[in-house]
Amino acid sequence: MPVFGFPEPLLDALRTARRMVVLTGAGVSAESGVPTFRDAQTGLWANFKPEDLATPGAFRRNPRLVWEWYATRRARVGEAQPNPGHFAIAELERRMPEFLLATQNVDGLHQRAGSRNVVELHGNITRTKCFEEGTAVESWPATAEAPPHCPRCGGWLRPDVVWFGEMLPEEEFARALAASRRCEVLFSVGTSALVHPAASLPLDALDAGAWVVEVNPQRTPLTPRVDYFLEGVSGVILPALLKAAWPA
Ligand code: BV8
């Protein structure tokens, strides 16, 4: 395990923190083999930008294409395993008296790694709901139709994710915002910090006087604002940071 020289004030802040928020994006799942949202699309989807597929308009215009894009991603997520970055975030939670994980990810890998206090800001690709009613649908008759139809109302089924132009789940975002305004330390891990309103959470934490730490192999629009920019991949940086803060 490479030894990083983490700044002592950062390690002290971790050891003494009582209230922490971690905001994650697709980069945390990259080392699990789940393409990030802005990775170049491959195969069937090479000609499409995610932002052009992850919208209600795209679904209305071409429901089969959008449904199959999500079915492909859902299958990939099903084969993925949590990586050391996910496990390190779950360990961080166990060490904090008060902790919230606000994830933009829709793959459910944080929960599989043992994270408990999680809000999914953008939904979860493994859940399905009715496009008309907006309510969850757990099962439907096997069909070759794509998308399948709601067994209750006959409308199209869709993934239970938040598309561009759609509101985030109100309660989840309110919890994440309140925690960001209360915390002493906020980590922004594996996110390009481009998509709002999730990208505003670190700024709310900064305005409330929290330490903000960013973990990313690349700089982002947030980088100039943070207290510490830990340049590297989360699967390496986060385990090393925990080991440095709590060597025993
Ligand atoms: C909203 C679920 C109010 C679906 C996603 C015009 C009209 C309407 C809205 C807007 C508009 N203009 C702007 C907006 C707001 C819009 C927005 O922010 N757009 C951006 C593009 C400018 N936001 C919305 O629409 C939101 N709703 O505003 O509602 C409203 C309503 C109506 C009208 C107006 C306003 C809804 C946003 C949610 C969209 N859904 N996902 C799906 O997954 O298919 S967002 C999508 O992007 C993913 O969820 C992803 O999480 C998110 C952010 O991307 P990242 O997670 O950051 O991933 P990305 O690939 O970008 O970056 C990866 C990062 O990881 C990189 O920095 C990379 O360096 C790093 N990395 C790579 N490897 C590693 C790593 N880091 C660490 N370790 C590694 N190994």
Digit-by-digit pLDDT tens for the chain (248 residues) are: 445 689 999 999 999 999 999 999 999 999 999 988 777 666 666 678 888 899 999 999 999 999 999 999 999 999 999 999 999 999 999 999 999 999 999 999 999 999 999 999 999 999 999 999 999 999 999 999 999 999 999 999 999 999 999 999 999 999 999 999 999 999 999 999 999 999 999 999 999 999 999 999 999 999 999 999 999 999 999 999 999 999 98
Substitution candidate for ligand 1 out of 191, 203, 237 with most atoms within 8 A of CB: 191
pTM confidence score: 0.96
Q: Atom 76 in ligand 1: which residue has the minimum CA distance?
A: 190
Strand locations in 145-219 (E): 157-161, 185-189, 211-216
State if residue 24 touches ligand 1 by the CB under 6 angstroms criterion: no
Instruction: Give the span between the Cα atoms of 191 and 7, in whole angstroms.
Output: 22
Q: Atom 43 in ligand 1: which residue has the minimum CA distance?
A: 106
Torsion-angle region of 134 (φ positive above 0: left; ψ -120 to 50: alpha; else: beta): left
Annotated active-site positions, please?
A: 122
Phi, psi of 37 (to 5 degrees): -65, -25
State if residue 186 touches ligand 1 by the CB under 6 angstroms criterion: no
